[in-house]
Structure formats: structure tokens, C-alpha cells
């Protein structure tokens, strides 16, 4: 113990806080609405802001407060407010304050277009305790609005950012690599570097997810066309080839064998409550077999009903069993049940796009010959060792 100090900085890793009852949940995702005041070309969820039919199905304030209350009782530390655009909710400030008064931290994902001086004042006076995350679609009006499709959105977004900066409300920015803003990558990184809360270069999405509700073939076609091709994705990842090789050599060395038939190898979570009160194992996974409507039980029951079942779940699709289950690239690949859902409406269908992306990387690293398929490889450990040896001697 300390002699005269009563405030101790301790590593709480060495203090047991969770005694193992129920499901330990550090974070709960909350989709306040699927509606958004932008209409971004690559978005996997957006519904029109003014769609009253959609709006009428959303949970009301009381229902959300009840869920937040349950989350706090379950020991959740952080709730992520996302959507759609969460600030579209008229009760946003009410729900935000309610969450914070429960002692929850709030991680806010927003496009910043609806951040008014009043909201910024609230965020400054009652800090969210997590950095706000803001997506940036372009560095100027033309490029920004070519993505969002909404005239005036750039000016609103700029004002929103300024409101936060003026009050020193912490936020970070992230980009989305799209044709209208492709030439601005450097300018974006340079501007992001001036942000005092960013301690690394900004992340940029480019392998866009398909529609989470599987509600539009036309939109899915467009999203597919906006995704970087495996060749281009590889080019971006390997912009500094030697750095990439060294990093990947270490990364691959950690792998021992392919995953087998077990489906959920991701640790599952954070759990998510969608805009209509359905609990999902994660934000992107909406397959009806693995979700739980909170009309049928509370949050605790939902988690108890979903998580243990998913941990035991095995793939049944013969294609998955032939390919993903036997593939040593599995840890590198973006394949997962949530992606299988949005791409195919199933839990265990190999997604060709990710397969190509993983194979492209493996070929670049010399782990696969040109026509080879990774799931047919039986000597992956040897190849990885050889590659590591090549790295250290070169």
C-alpha cells in the first residue's frame, strides 16, 4: 500500500471485476435509426431521413431508455450510438443524457452535419468519454456531395466539425475511398494529421459491405462497383512493399492450422440492438436465425439465448467445408457469418470477393503459386517458415 497517497494508479487487470455470471459485455451497439440525412452511394444501411413509415417502426424514447437501463445493469461500460444518423432522432439529447447519467460511456458515430452549437455545448459539458467518430466523404464540396448526394451537406458537416473544434470536444475522422474523392487521399491524411486526437493516420474503408437488410439488388450492384478490386486493394495495402512483407511475415508465422467447421471464430460481439428492438450478435449480422426480438424477452435473455448457441455453431455448407474450413488464410480473410449474410443471406457461404483478396495477398507474399488454391495447401507451416527465413536473410 501507499504511505500517504489515497489515489492509486493501478492496472485493473489485476483486480477481478467480473465474476463470470452471465455474458461479460463491455460494449453494446445501438442503432438509433436506419434513416440518414445523407444518401451516400456506398452505404449499407441508409434509409431516407423523411421516411415516415420507417420512422413509425422505430423504438420510442421510453423503449430505448429501458434498454439502456438494462445494459447498465448488465455491466456494459460503453454504448455505441450509430445508425443511420443518430442525431436525426429528436430525442437524441435526451437519450444521450440518460445514458451518461446511468454511468455509461457513449461512443458516437455521426456524419457531423447535425451537430449544432447546442449539441456541441452538451457534448462539451457532459463529455461522452469516448472520442466521437466522424466519417469524411470528401475534402471539398464537389467531392463530398458527389458521395452524399445531398446539396448543402458539405457546409453542414464543416460547421459541425467547427463546433466540436471550438469547444475542444474530442473526435477522430475516417474516410471512405470512392471515385469522387480518390485523388484527395493525401490531402485527407494531411488534414487528419492536424487533428489533435488522432494518433495514427486515418483509416479508410474500401471493401464496402453490401446492404445489411438485403433490400436492394440495384444498390448492391452499385456498392460492388464501388469496391476496390482485389488488384487495386492489394496495390493499396502494399504501397510500402518491404514494410508490408515484414509485417505479414510475422503475422503469418503465428498461424498453425486452418479453422475447421466452427463458424464463429471472432469472439462474437459487441452485441447490437437494431432500430426496431431486435438484438443481433453484431452490427452487421441480421440473419433471423441468430437474432432475438426483445419483444420476447429482455436483453439478458437475448444474450443468454444467442451467444452460447453461436459458439457451438458449425458450418454445414459443403462449399464452406471444402474451402474456408480448410484454408490457412482464414485469419487474414474478411470472411465471417455477418459477411456471408449480407452477401448471400446465409451464415456459411464463402464470399468470392474476400477469397480473391486473401489469395492476392498470399500470392504477393510468395505463399501461393499463381493457380494454387489456399485450401488445397497442406504444407502451409513450411511455406511460412521459408518465407520468414527469406525475409531475415534478404
Q: Which of residues 372-391 bind other proteins (CB under 8 A)?
A: none
Stretch that binds other proteins, among 18-26, 150-158, 227-235, 338-346 (CB under 8 A): 18-26
Locate 19 and state its grid cell: 465474476
Distance of closest approach, residue 163 Cβ to other proteins, in angstroms? 15
Q: Is residue 7 within the footprint of other proteins (CB under 8 A)? A: yes
Asked whether 141 and 26 are in contact (CB, 8 A), the reply is no
Alpha carbon distances (Å) from 315 to 284, 312, 319, 326, 338: 19, 10, 10, 12, 13
Residues found in the chain: 394
Place of cell 474503408: 205
* Segment contacting other proteins by CB under 8 A, of 84-92, 191-199, 225-233, 355-363: 191-199
Which grid cell is 63?
423503449
Query: H or E stretch including 53?
Result: helix 52-57
**Cβ contacts of 304 within 8 Å, gap of 6 or more:** 22, 23
Number of Cβ within 10 Å of residue 201's Cβ equals 11
Residue closer to other proteins (CB basis): 199 or 217? 199
* Site residue total, other proteins (CB under 8 A): 75
Minimum distance of other proteins from residue 203's CB (angstroms): 3
- Starting at the edge strand that comes first in sequence, how are the strands of the sheet with 271-273 ordered? 204-205, 171-176, 132-136, 105-110, 78-83, 27-33, 271-273, 278-280, 292-293
Evaluate whether 271 touches 281 at the Cβ level (below 8 Å): yes
In angstroms, rounded to a whole number, what is the distance separating the alpha carbons of residues 270 and 139? 32
330 lines the binding site for other proteins (CB under 8 A) = yes
Residue 127 binding other proteins, by CB under 8 A: yes
CB 320 within 8 A of CB 197: no
- To other proteins, the closest distance from the beta carbon of 253 in angstroms equals 7
Query: Least distance from C-beta 185 to other proteins, angstroms?
Result: 15
Q: Under rule CB under 8 A, which residues in 202-241 are in contact with other proteins?
A: 203-205
Q: How far is residue 174's CA from residue 203's CA, in Å, rounded to a whole number?
A: 5
Question: Is position 339 an interface residue for other proteins (rule: CB under 8 A)?
Answer: no
In the bound complex, what is the minimum distance in angstroms from residue 344's beta carbon to other proteins? 21
- The reply to whether 100 sits near other proteins by the rule CB under 8 A is yes
Asked if residue 23 binds other proteins (CB under 8 A), the reply is yes
Interactions with other proteins, residue window 262-321 (CB under 8 A): 262, 265-267, 269-270, 311
| Position among 33, 38, 78, 110 found at the interface with other proteins (CB under 8 A) | 78
Residue 103 interacts with other proteins (CB under 8 A): yes or no: yes
Report 146-165 residues binding other proteins (CB under 8 A): none
CA 307 to chain centre: 19
Nearer to other proteins, 150 or 303 (CB): 303
Amino acid at each position: 500500500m501507499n504511505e500517504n497517497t489515497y489515489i492509486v494508479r493501478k492496472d485493473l487487470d489485476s483486480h477481478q471485476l467480473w465474476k463470470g455470471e452471465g455474458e461479460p459485455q463491455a460494449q453494446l451497439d445501438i442503432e438509433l435509426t436506419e434513416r440518414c440525412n445523407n444518401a451516400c452511394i456506398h452505404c449499407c444501411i441508409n434509409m431516407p431521413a423523411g421516411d415516415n413509415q420507417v420512422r413509425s417502426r422505430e423504438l420510442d424514447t421510453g423503449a430505448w431508455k429501458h434498454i439502456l437501463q438494462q445494459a447498465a445493469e448488465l455491466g456494459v461500460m460503453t454504448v455505441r450510438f450509430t445508425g443511420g444518423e443518430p442525431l436525426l432522432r429528436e430525442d437524441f439529447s435526451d437519450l444521450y443524457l440518460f445514458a451518461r447519467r446511468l454511468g455509461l460511456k457513449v461512443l458516437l458515430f455521426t456524419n457531423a452535419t447535425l451537430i449544432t452549437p447546442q449539441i456541441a455545448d452538451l457534448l462539451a459539458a457532459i463529455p461522452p468519454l469516448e472520442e466521437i467518430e466522424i466519417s469524411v466523404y470528401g475534402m471539398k464540396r464537389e467531392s463530398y456531395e458527389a458521395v452524399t448526394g445531398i446539396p448543402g451537406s458539405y457546409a453542414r458537416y464543416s460547421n459541425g466539425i467547427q463546433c466540436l473544434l471550438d469547444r475542444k470536444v474530442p473526435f477522430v475522422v475516417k474516410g471512405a475511398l470512392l471515385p469522387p474523392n480518390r485523388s484527395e487521399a493525401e490531402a485527407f491524411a494531411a488534414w487528419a494529421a492536424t487533428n489533435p486526437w488522432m494518433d495514427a493516420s486515418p483509416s479508410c474503408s474500401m471493401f464496402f459491405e453490401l446492404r445489411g437488410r438485403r433490400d436492394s439488388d440495384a444498390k448492391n450492384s452499385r456498392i460492388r462497383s464501388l469496391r476496390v478490386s482485389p488488384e487495386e486493394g492489394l496495390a493499396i495495402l502494399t504501397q510500402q512493399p518491404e514494410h508490408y512483407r515484414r509485417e505479414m511475415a510475422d503475422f503469418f508465422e503465428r498461424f498453425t492450422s486452418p479453422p475447421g467447421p466452427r463458424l464463429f471464430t471472432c469472439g462474437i460481439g459487441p452485441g447490437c440492438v437494431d432500430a426496431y428492438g431486435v438484438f443481433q450478435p453484431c452490427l452487421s449480422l441480421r440473419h433471423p436465425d441468430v437474432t432475438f426480438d426483445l419483444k420476447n424477452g429482455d436483453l439478458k435473455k437475448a444474450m443468454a439465448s444467442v451467444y452460447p448457441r453461436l459458439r457451438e455453431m458449425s458450418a454445414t455448407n459443403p462449399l464452406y467445408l471444402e474451402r474456408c474450413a480448410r484454408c490457412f488464410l482464414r485469419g487474414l480473410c474478411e470472411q465471417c457469418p455477418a459477411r456471408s449474410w449480407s452477401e448471400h443471406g446465409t451464415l456459411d457461404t464463402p464470399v468470392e470477393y474476400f477469397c480473391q483478396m486473401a489469395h492476392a495477398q498470399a500470392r504477393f507474399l510468395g505463399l501461393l503459386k499463381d493457380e494454387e488454391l489456399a485450401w488445397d495447401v497442406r504444407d502451409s507451416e513450411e511455406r511460412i517458415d521459408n518465407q520468414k527465413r527469406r525475409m531475415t536473410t534478404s
